[in-house]
Amino acid sequence: MRVLFSTTPAFGHFLPLLPLARAFRRQGHDVAVVTAAGMTPLVAPEGFELLPAGPMPDVLFAEVGRKLGVDPATSPTPEAVAEFFAGVRVDLTADEALAEAKRWQPDLIVNEMVDFVGPMIAAGLGVPLATLAFGPSVPAEFTDALTAVVRSRYEERGLPVPEHTPSGRWLLDTCPPGLQFPNFAPPCGVERIALRPQPHQARNSPTGAGNPPAGGRPRVLVSFGTVFADPAVVGPLLGALTALDVDVLATLGLDGKPQDYQLDSDRVEFSPFVPLAQLLENITAVISHGGAGTTLGTLARGIPMVVVPQGADQFIQADRVAASGAGIALAPGQAEPSAIAAALRRLLDEPRFTAEARRISAEIAVLPSPDEVAELLRAEVIG
């Protein structure tokens, strides 16, 4: 079987797809990824064929800014989010992606929740579609806006217009029950298939839960992802944490340098971009921006969190982490470094947060594995 994965060209969108893509490859299927050519350094080491289509996010953000005068990353209104994912990205990517997909001839397309190129390919080629939700369900005000904006793009190409988002046959749901919104259900006609999320790990590395710190000070991971790791935000926070009796591991984003943070402390260790699974080893607590992959990966290991959302969908993850009891969320107006440090102190002092994080971890552990879901989809598509 030939399986085409379609993703927005960004780390946080592609990485949640990797466990399933790797599972299909382990089972002997052909796997390709359709996304911007700028994602080659991330896709090529996996051994997947990359079908290049469309620009990287900097071009997309600039075009949305030109059209709406806002940045959808830092001002994630339904209008701005819909214009980025279902408007501008489709306009600048879909036709090239359709041509590449026609050449490659997939039997199944798997997209991530806010990729609207994969669904258009599926409609154009008459190929079944599975959509991976990499976090809690997206609120209706956003999915309605996304569906409305993409409508004209289908009509322009003479394709059947989707009635809802997601629009395929299956929703691959990686969100455990304890983190999901109450009474969540996929749209009518879409079958939900649970899928176990995993913290991103290096290719062929074994899975594991890591080991708790062996005595001494708690070890805290501070990670604001690959996009939001702004030294102006993270640097003062690290300074505040040095007043606590903790050791800190701080990530530098994609291209940051320790000297950017103007911090001199033997309590803080900096790390370049490495897989999250590696970073979580021996960690007691995590302070994060609330990216979906970071959130689910952390809770899969039973580690409590302080979530400080910066933009995008991070406010959704922050809300659900707080509601689950597995962590503390701070709104932007509350997120002074001293307040974040105080939240961490509370997280470490009150065992209930760790207990709830471990409850979520137990829920994740019993979800179907990527290999099980790959086999299920194969049986559905080709029998």
**8 Å CB contact between 270 and 254:** no
Judge whether 209 lies within some domain. no
Judgement on whether residues 30 and 159 belong to the same structural domain of the protein: yes
Judgement on whether residues 236 and 182 belong to the same structural domain of the protein: no
Q: What is the 3-state secondary structure (H, E, C) of the chain?
A: CEEEEECCCCHHHHHHHHHHHHHHHHCCCEEEEEECHHHHHHHHHHCCEEEECCCCHHHHHHHHHHHHCCCCCCCCCHHHHHHHHHHHHHHHHHHHHHHHHHHHCCCEEEEECCCCHHHHHHHHHCCCEEEEECCCCCCHHHHHHHHHHHHHHHHHCCCCCCCCCCCCCEEEECCCHHHCCCCCCCCCCCEEEECCCCCCCCCCCCCCCCCCCCCCCCEEEEECCCCCCCHHHHHHHHHHHCCCCCEEEEECCCCCCHHHHCCCCCCEEEECCCCHHHHCCCCCEEEECCCHHHHHHHHHCCCCEEECCCCCCHHHHHHHHHHHCCEEECCHHHCCHHHHHHHHHHHHHCHHHHHHHHHHHHHHHCCCCHHHHHHHHHHHHHC
Judge whether 210 lies within some domain. no
Judge whether 128 lies within some domain. yes
CA distance 357 to 162: 37
Residue 58: which domain range?
Answer: 2-197+367-382
Judge whether 206 lies within some domain. no
Judgement on whether residues 22 and 114 belong to the same structural domain of the protein: yes
pLDDT in tens, the chain (383 residues): 999 999 999 988 999 999 999 999 999 999 999 999 999 999 999 999 999 999 999 999 999 999 999 888 777 889 999 999 999 999 999 999 999 999 999 999 999 999 999 999 999 999 999 999 988 998 899 999 999 999 999 999 999 999 999 999 999 999 999 999 988 989 999 999 999 999 888 776 544 444 444 457 899 998 886 666 677 777 788 888 888 889 989 888 767 777 777 776 677 888 887 888 888 999 999 999 888 889 999 999 999 999 988 777 788 889 899 999 999 999 877 778 888 899 999 999 999 999 999 999 999 999 999 999 999 999 999 97
Number of C-beta neighbours around residue 102 at 10 A: 12
Judgement on whether residues 30 and 179 belong to the same structural domain of the protein: yes
Considering only CA atoms, which of 365, 321, 316 is closest in space to residue 178? 321
204: left (phi over 0), alpha (psi -120 to 50) or beta: left
Judgement on whether residues 104 and 126 belong to the same structural domain of the protein: yes
Two structure tokens written together for 382:
């080709």
Judgement on whether residues 162 and 232 belong to the same structural domain of the protein: no
Judgement on whether residues 233 and 122 belong to the same structural domain of the protein: no
Judgement on whether residues 188 and 247 belong to the same structural domain of the protein: no
Judge whether 208 lies within some domain. no
Look at residue 209 in the predicted model and tell me its pLDDT.
42
Judgement on whether residues 272 and 162 belong to the same structural domain of the protein: no
The answer, as to whether pTM is greater than 0.95, is no
**8 Å CB contact between 132 and 195:** yes
Judgement on whether residues 261 and 319 belong to the same structural domain of the protein: yes
Counting the structural domains of the chain, the total is: 2
Look at residue 252 in the predicted model and tell me its pLDDT.
82
Judge whether 192 lies within some domain. yes
Judge whether 212 lies within some domain. no
Q: How confident is the model over 283-322, as pLDDT tens digits?
A: 999 999 888 889 999 999 999 999 988 777 788 889 899 9
Q: What is the CATH number of the domain that holds 339?
A: 3.40.50.2000
Look at residue 176 in the predicted model and tell me its pLDDT.
95
Judgement on whether residues 223 and 327 belong to the same structural domain of the protein: yes
Q: How confident is the model over 92-148, as pLDDT tens digits?
A: 999 999 999 999 999 999 999 999 999 999 999 999 999 999 889 988 999 999 999
Judge whether 202 lies within some domain. no
